[in-house]
Amino acid sequence: MLEVKYSQSITLSHPAPTPFVQQVGRALFETGMLNQYTTTLVYRPDTQWLNSLNSLAKLFKFDLSKQLSRRSVTEFPLSLVKDYPWPEIIRLLISRLDKDKRLTDVVFHWGNKGFDQWVARSALAGAKAVYSYETACVETFQAAKKHNMACIYDVPAPEHDFVTHLLNEEIKDYPELNTAYWKYVLTLQESRTQWRRQEWELADVVIANSEFTKASYATAGLDVAKVRVVPYGAPPITSEVSQGSSETESMRFFWAGTFSIRKGAHYLLKAWKKLQPGSSARLDVFGALALPNSLIHDLPREIKISGTVPRSELYELYRQADVLVFPTLCDGFGMVVTEAFAQGLPVITTSRAGAADLVKHGVNGLIIPAGDVEALAEALEWCLTHRQELKAMRQAALETAASWQWSDYRRTLIEKMLDGLETAGYTL
């Protein structure tokens, strides 16, 4: 990291302590910049009321402890965390009862707005800048401007209208996806896009996780001169290097994450049926199933769909596979790519995955056009007919992960953030 140490000058704000947010927090902490991290619900193991609430949730057969464990802060001291938990607790409880998701959505956005107001009102003291994320910082940035504070805006997903347009095109072919919830979301599309536009305009620096994410905002007509691109880092690489399946075994194609339209799952199924690999290959899917029944009622027997698994088990499954298939239609990054690389697994993905920035076609994986059944089928067939070349990609995948770890992300984030702030006329 940079040797220069800064006074605690930046408040970091995000409604959830996700892995990539914690890496930002760690980057700020390591350089002495982190004033505090503000969030909604965070796990504090010594808090009596949280433990009591967990016991109450068990009476309703709700595993709140599992939710809480995902909200542990591990990358910087918990003493720097200030939380605003109740709206998020209400959302979690309502989501257990709300079948069509509309009420959950209302509560989510109500909670985000309340969180934004709370940060603006009570969490900016002592800081020279605030680092926040989309949908939760309009009032935070407005308050910061009143105190001549710099505003750093992180966009982990492609532009809002860009994503909705892509999904609407798919819904034309799958009308059963045009649910009451989706119709409800579309009624709020314009207002939610404008909310994000306000955040963008108020920001002095924008951090994007990929060139694809940046390009989606440029396509929407927004000024991207203030954008700095910093790809997410890979987890630690494995020491248990596997060679995948043997020549006499079925090739193991692998899917990790939600099996959905947005991720291109329906195109994979079409490509598989077009290829008809039979016993020469199998497809193992690990993740939540989010496809309409019309697409999965007659799956070939060599395709097996399982549920989500713990990350430690998922890493072992990566090592056993031959190639990860991630034909996403739209992903700001796609951390399954770097997870696969860290386990020595080559990747088939599309030009609409932000993580494609790290994929070298024919070296550590294959890049194909999004939504192209022919190209996907050809990529699957290439793997089947070029097993030795595919095995050689495993080492290249490991080397890619080793060359871009989270430590590299943190170092580069600080460098590019400071450059953006200097360009905007701010010094910390």
d(CA 180, CA 183) in angstroms, rounded, equals: 5
**What is the widest separation between alpha-carbon atoms in the chain?**
68
Q: How far apart are CA 408 and CA 230, in angstroms?
A: 10
The answer to whether 150 touches 421, Cβ cutoff 8 Å, is: yes
Q: What is the pLDDT of residues 117-134, one digit of tens each?
A: 999 999 999 999 999 999
> Distance between CA atoms of 397 and 405, rounded to whole angstroms?
13
The pair of three-digit structure tokens given for residue 262, joined into one six-digit string: 């947005």
**pLDDT tens track for 301-342:** 999 999 888 888 999 999 999 999 999 999 999 999 999 999
Residue 230 is encoded by which pair of tokens? 């910093």
Is the confidence at residue 49, as pLDDT, over 70?
no
Q: Mean pLDDT of all residues in the chain?
A: 93
Range with lowest mean pLDDT among 104-108, 162-166, 239-243: 239-243
Task: Please report the domains of the chain, with CATH numbers, ordered by start residue.
Answer: 10-233+406-423 (3.40.50), 251-403 (3.40.50.2000)
Q: Please determine, for residue 251, whether its predicted confidence score (pLDDT) is greater than 80.
A: yes
Query: What pTM was estimated for this model as a whole?
Result: 0.93
Question: CB burial class (10 A; 0-12, 13-18, 19+) of residue 79?
Answer: exposed
